[in-house]
A = this chain, B = another copy of it.
């Protein structure tokens, strides 16, 4: 936070003035799973950097669902620190909770199947680590973090290398023994071709339900299967029921709407009442 940002609150009131405030979810019916609350240390830091003595309490237990109106955070601190840090804290909290909330909805949609919901590298610039953390908080599992921790041979790699076999050969020759290799395929012929190459996983891209079912049957558990492309909350359960192991959803990190959480100062009167 730049020194500029503090211009208003620095003079708005003398630093000793302290206020109590609480933060609550505004949107009715939106469930905030407990694990999302792990996103809160960032919110804490926004205030603590401005007022080291701020007191912050998160009344909601880890793992609980949160109804609209639930008070999720209680803060007492210097008024101007609260006014200065409020928006930044809520921007972190809302963005990451939004991702966790959307992930939780996808996870709920496939409950009872064997499929796990995973993320992609389609993240917001600068926030990948936090967003992938939010996905885990929402019950999802992380795909690789970058180009460095796993090899995923996609269409462009195959074009560049001159064929899937050539691409895989290069990957095998250079990657370390701890690096897994996944190959993207788009139809059953490519599934068969890829299985010859003995990969660790297959990415079944943009295949319809019957093709997915056929692919799962063909693979027969020999490698991990991941479905991707055109996944929505409406379609995800049917995809899960084809028997794939994983369903990757780019929208988790690139299109999750914010979870609307606000911060309200408590009027002194009310506070006195509470003290009584």
Contact with B along A83-99 (1 / 0, CB 8 A): 11011101110110010
Q: Is A235 an interface residue (CB 8 A)?
A: no
Q: Is A238 an interface residue (CB 8 A)?
A: no
Contacting residue for A4 out of B145, B178, B201, B257, CB 8 A:
B145
Q: Interface residues of A: mostly helix, strand, loop or mixed? A: mixed
Q: Which of A120-166 contact B (CB under 8 A)?
A: 121-127, 129-130, 133, 136, 141-152, 155-157, 159-162
A267 near B149 with CB under 8 A, answer no
A92 near B160 with CB under 8 A, answer no
B150 near A12 with CB under 8 A, answer no
Contact with B along A72-110 (1 / 0, CB 8 A): 000000011011101110111011001000000000000
B177 near A141 with CB under 8 A, answer yes
Contacting residue for A146 out of B5, B21, B161, CB 8 A:
B5
Stretch in A53-61, A168-176, A186-194, A210-218 touching the partner = A168-176
B94 near A254 with CB under 8 A, answer yes
- In angstroms, Cα B200 to Cα A21, docked, is 28
The residues of B that contact A84 with a CB separation of less than 8 Å are: 147
**Copies of chain A in the complex:** 6
The residues of B that contact A82 with a CB separation of less than 8 Å are: 156, 160
Q: Is A118 an interface residue (CB 8 A)?
A: yes
CB distance from A147 to the nearest CB of B (A): 4
A254 near B95 with CB under 8 A, answer yes
- In angstroms, Cα B4 to Cα A264, docked, is 29
The residues of B that contact A226 with a CB separation of less than 8 Å are: 177
Contact with B along A239-268 (1 / 0, CB 8 A): 000000110001100110110000111111
Q: Is A272 an interface residue (CB 8 A)?
A: no
Q: Is A224 an interface residue (CB 8 A)?
A: yes
Contacting residue for A129 out of B2, B92, B246, CB 8 A:
B2
Contacting residue for A126 out of B7, B126, B177, CB 8 A:
B126
B160 near A12 with CB under 8 A, answer yes
**A83-B124 contact, Cβ under 8 Å, with A11-B170, A143-B178, A147-B6:** no
**A180-B182 contact, Cβ under 8 Å, with A7-B148, A159-B265:** no
**A124-B122 contact, Cβ under 8 Å, with A4-B146, A156-B21, A178-B144:** no
User: Can you list 8 A-B pairs with a CB-CB distance of less than 8 A?
Assistant: A80-B160, A82-B156, A88-B125, A126-B126, A141-B176, A145-B148, A149-B150, A159-B268
Minimum-distance CB pairs A-B, first 6? A149-B149, A150-B178, A255-B257, A159-B265, A254-B258, A3-B129
